[in-house]
Amino acid sequence: MDVLSETIAAIRTGNPTSGMFVRHAPWGRDYPVVPGAGFHVVLQGSCFAVRSGAEPIALGAGDVLFMPRGADHHLVDRLDSPVTERAQPGEPREIPGTGARTALLCGAYELGRQRSHPLLDELPEFIHLPAHPGRHPALRAAVDLLAAEVAAPNQGSDAALPAILDILLLFMLRAWFDEQAARAEPVGGWAGAFADPAVAAALRAVHEAPERTWTVPHMSDIAGVSRATLARRFAATVGEPPLAYVTRWRMLTAARLLRESNASLDSIARKVGYTSEFAFAKAFKREYGTAPGQYRRAEDKPPLVAV
């Protein structure tokens, strides 16, 4: 079981959006908070990402900037340029001008708002992945493919774009975790969880079979370490005790099944380890603040702005 892929699939909702924007100096765009994750790729030129209370991030051609929780920020060609635009539907993709040209590929992913996942919770608000030669070739290939599809839509683009955007999201996260694992100091967080054979084995087992009656002894047998060792290493990397994570994963899986399938509540309850619909409904309401049936009937949310 691929834990990263399963995690992203569980918290993703709706369809991703993307767009290409061309601006000529001087320019400045405001990007408000989005209820999900966002990204920018500089295809040509350069700019700065200006964040509240933090140092600006200088972005050059090929750089990727990922916002796991959709934090608000500005993009400007120079730090002294005024912010005169705000990301919103229907705005022009290109504004002619005589100043230096900057081309940006921007997008957003809608993520579950009511229940998050520690994998995303622990990430910094802004992840800068510079375009160093030879680094993260898969990410570079996905960026090139997405840029080509956005610049020249063709037959099948409606199907291709969401698929490429899904791949891009995974590759941005993979690049970040790979960079953390390559650092000289000990690795913590989810990068550490993926790198720890015992924790990774326990995570894979839970993701593969959330319906099982999990106990720490059972998980430690699978991990091949003592109960105390697994409990300590699991909490240090994943961010919560093993059985707390089992409950979280069960609820995220249930929410995904409620959104994406017509399975009965009783069937979903059994798929996530509950012997009765009543017990499942009680646990789900405790986590999401609403009954499973109400969650399923909730109105569709408006699509994200293609930032």
Domain count, the chain: 2
**Does residue 307 form part of some domain?**
no
- Quick one: 212 and 273 in the same domain? yes
- Quick one: 12 and 43 in the same domain? yes
**Does residue 109 form part of some domain?**
yes
Q: Which residues, including other chains, have CB under 8 Å from residue 245's CB and lie 6 or more apart? A: 118, 203, 206, 234, 238
Domain boundary among 181, 207, 229: 181
> What CA–CA distance (Å, rounded) separates 181 from 195?
7
The pLDDT of residue 304 is 45
- Quick one: 67 and 111 in the same domain? yes
- Quick one: 147 and 60 in the same domain? yes
pLDDT by position in tens, the chain (length 307): 588 888 888 887 777 888 899 999 999 999 999 888 999 999 999 999 999 889 999 999 999 999 999 999 999 999 999 999 998 877 888 888 889 999 999 999 988 656 678 888 889 999 999 988 888 999 999 999 999 998 888 899 888 998 999 999 999 999 999 888 887 676 778 888 998 999 999 999 999 999 999 999 999 999 999 999 999 999 999 999 999 999 999 999 999 999 889 999 999 999 999 999 999 999 999 988 999 999 998 744 444 444 4
Provide φ and ψ at 262, rounded to 5°. -105, 20
Domain boundary among 151, 181, 211: 181
- Quick one: 172 and 269 in the same domain? no
136: tokens are 């993260």
**Does residue 186 form part of some domain?**
no
The pLDDT of residue 302 is 44
Kindly list the distances between the CA atom of residue 249 and the CA atoms of 192, 203, 220, 270, 284, in Å, as whole numbers in the listed order: 19, 10, 18, 14, 12
The pLDDT of residue 113 is 59
265: tokens are 């509540």
- Quick one: 97 and 219 in the same domain? no
The pLDDT of residue 116 is 74
**Does residue 306 form part of some domain?**
no
- Quick one: 100 and 245 in the same domain? no
The pLDDT of residue 306 is 42
Task: Please tell me what DSSP assigns to residue 65.
Answer: E
Domain boundary among 181, 206, 223: 181
- Quick one: 200 and 282 in the same domain? yes
Full domain range(s) for residue 143: 3-181
Strand 64-67, strand 127-129: pairing: antiparallel
**Does residue 187 form part of some domain?**
no
Strand 85-86, strand 28-31: pairing: parallel
Which residue do the tokens 């017509």 mark?
262
Residue from 11, 61, 2, 63 nearest 37 by CA = 11
- Quick one: 236 and 277 in the same domain? yes
- Quick one: 279 and 201 in the same domain? yes
Q: What CATH number should be reported for the domain holding residue 65?
A: 2.60.120.280
Which residue do the tokens 């099948």 mark?
156
Which residue do the tokens 């720890």 mark?
196
pTM of the shown model: 0.86
